[in-house]
Structure 1
């Protein structure tokens, strides 16, 4: 079955590539914006990788291959060009694409940045500013570390109750079930649950367990000087609809101001933590606009027509990428056939 799926994907991707070479492609696809969403660029299969593997968007090898394809088949723009289109009606090139990263991991600097610079591809990195220059992990990486190091085969987990597993695959299912459950509850309740996980799994987490996981401000400034843009992604990465509105406003503004202070440049873009349909609201979008931010990105699936981007600049769609995507599925996703790619299955 997997071989059959692989052949189908390869055939579809090959068809898309041939279609892109035809003049009809320009007529049908020229007025769409394709925003790629990455998180980490790393190899989750390497020895000692004990943070959340699902947060790895591509290996360095695959990322370079993806960027080469993107540059060949799309016109890659930056945030300022998009804002100029929305606010000044300055036309975008046909088949525009953007490269974005969420959170602010170190591998954005060590792995992605050299490739982007070599290929002269602009990108924007959305920073959760409380983590930049610190050893503090995101909660999903902390949870993944605890699951990676536990010797137990069962545990009573806050919110969901008793769970058991007999192998790594089953343990991974429990891990992801718990993380997804935590995303649906209020922030205070989530923090209480997170604080209980090490004890529940009988794991001791060293203070330096996550050293070097995130960018520092010196790296941010270096990349900014060389053409990488930076946007706000809140300060502490809460899902904004799970906290009071005044707290959400503080998260948005403090993140923006911190980045502006560090890079000495205005921040014009924002990405919603988690980015699902329930993770932002009209009130949140209004706060972002009032903070002086011009565009905001969700994780609702793209691509998007230009006219929709102009009409809805605070809910711009993106194409979510993960390291388990084959190159064929990547091609399908960024050419707007993601639903078909998902239907074929991973």
Structure 2
């Protein structure tokens, strides 16, 4: 296993490292509060139909949205909004009404000037390969005739494993911080857990820190927590089986690759990046009978060297860098907009990304 607990991530000054990631977690919490405070204006504008008025005349550049789960519940373990079935149907209904949903392949062909792109084109994508994508999201998409692309983490298909960040969230929700601190046996995690912060801030700080360390170090910490503080995946976190992936394909949805094991690619050696790409492509081709052309970077993160490797295996790839697409956009670094739970917030975000002016509206981006 690569990386030791005393590796690159732990060689930084413990005090400054702890402060940096706690500050990030607090910023996430403050942003969430700001979003809630701005919901009244956004929801009112959405229901009043004001968003199209804000958009400028002329062509609207295509946008790619990204989702992970559609859930039966509408609030998370911590009480904040998550995307439930009703909210997702509101998304799809709004997009059909105000935009033109197309597939990611159609968008790629349009950007290559191989075919026309409709005005107000929007693409829906889903990362990771959760079972609720088939059970909850796909019926809504089929009902409205909306295409989507599902990016599959091939090594998790048909397993009872977690995506580690969600596993961490459940561990912090179910176990006392003292036990987590003892079991992690990692100096930075121990420091963060000793600060008497609200549990959710502590969890967010630890997760963001673990995303920053070499992948081997992350795996070691999670293995220790998993061994001593087990949590069982619930229905919201279970992955598709291969038969279920094939059902999505047979229903006309696109299937793309999302690596084999979902490492943050800049945190692993480039040879292992290449292996993750090759294995995910080969497995999807074997299981589905067609070679996937589309790829999503785990956590949306890439580098010049990684993007170059991705181009050897796939025609196009999506990031989580926010923005809309244009003919100048690199097909291997397509931007995507994270879809928030409320439809009013989604309408607001799309309007702001498409807005060419007036400039006085842009401060609203920071408030929400």
Specify the alignment match of 1:175 in structure 2: 203
Structure 1 pair 191/118, CA: closer, same or farther in 2 (3 Å)? same
Choose which of 318, 332, 335 in structure 2 pairs with 1:317.
335
- Measured against aligned partners, the alpha-carbon deviations of 1:129-174 in whole angstroms (never above 9, x if no partner) come to 10011111111122122222214556424233231477xx911111
- Measured against aligned partners, the alpha-carbon deviations of 1:62-96 in whole angstroms (never above 9, x if no partner) come to 00000000011111111221232233432211111
Specify the alignment match of 1:20 in structure 2: 52
Structure 1 pair 344/13, CA: closer, same or farther in 2 (3 Å)? farther
Q: Which structure is higher in RCO with an 8 Å CA cutoff and minimum separation 6?
A: 2
- Measured against aligned partners, the alpha-carbon deviations of 1:79-119 in whole angstroms (never above 9, x if no partner) come to 22123223343221111100000000011011100000111
Alignment of 1:141-180 (within 5 A): 141-152=166-177, 155-156=180-181, 157=184, 158=186, 159-162=188-191, 163-164=193-194, 170-180=198-208
Question: What is the number of equivalent residue pairs in this alignment?
Answer: 323
Asked whether the equivalents of residues 340 and 346 of structure 2 are also in contact (C-alpha less than 8 Å), the reply is no
Alignment of 1:130-145 (within 5 A): 130-145=155-170
Specify the alignment match of 1:307 in structure 2: 327
Taking structure 2 as the reference length, the TM-score comes to 0.79
SS in 2 for 1:231: strand
Return the offset for 1:179: 0.8
Unaligned runs of 5+ in 2: 1-32, 355-361
Specify the alignment match of 2:40 in structure 1: 7
Whether 1:86 and 2:111 are equivalent positions in the alignment is yes
CA RMSD of aligned residues (A): 2.9
Alignment of 1:24-63 (within 5 A): 25-27=56-58, 30-44=59-73, 58-63=83-88
Return the offset for 1:340: 5.2
Asked whether the equivalents of residues 35 and 99 of structure 1 are also in contact (C-alpha less than 8 Å), the reply is yes
Specify the alignment match of 2:344 in structure 1: 328
- Measured against aligned partners, the alpha-carbon deviations of 1:290-326 in whole angstroms (never above 9, x if no partner) come to 11x111100011223x2233xx111111111243xx3
SS in 1 for 2:198: helix
Structure 1 pair 57/40, CA: closer, same or farther in 2 (3 Å)? farther
Unaligned runs of 5+ in 1: none
Taking structure 1 as the reference length, the TM-score comes to 0.83
Asked whether the equivalents of residues 298 and 316 of structure 1 are also in contact (C-alpha less than 8 Å), the reply is yes
| Bigger strand share | 1
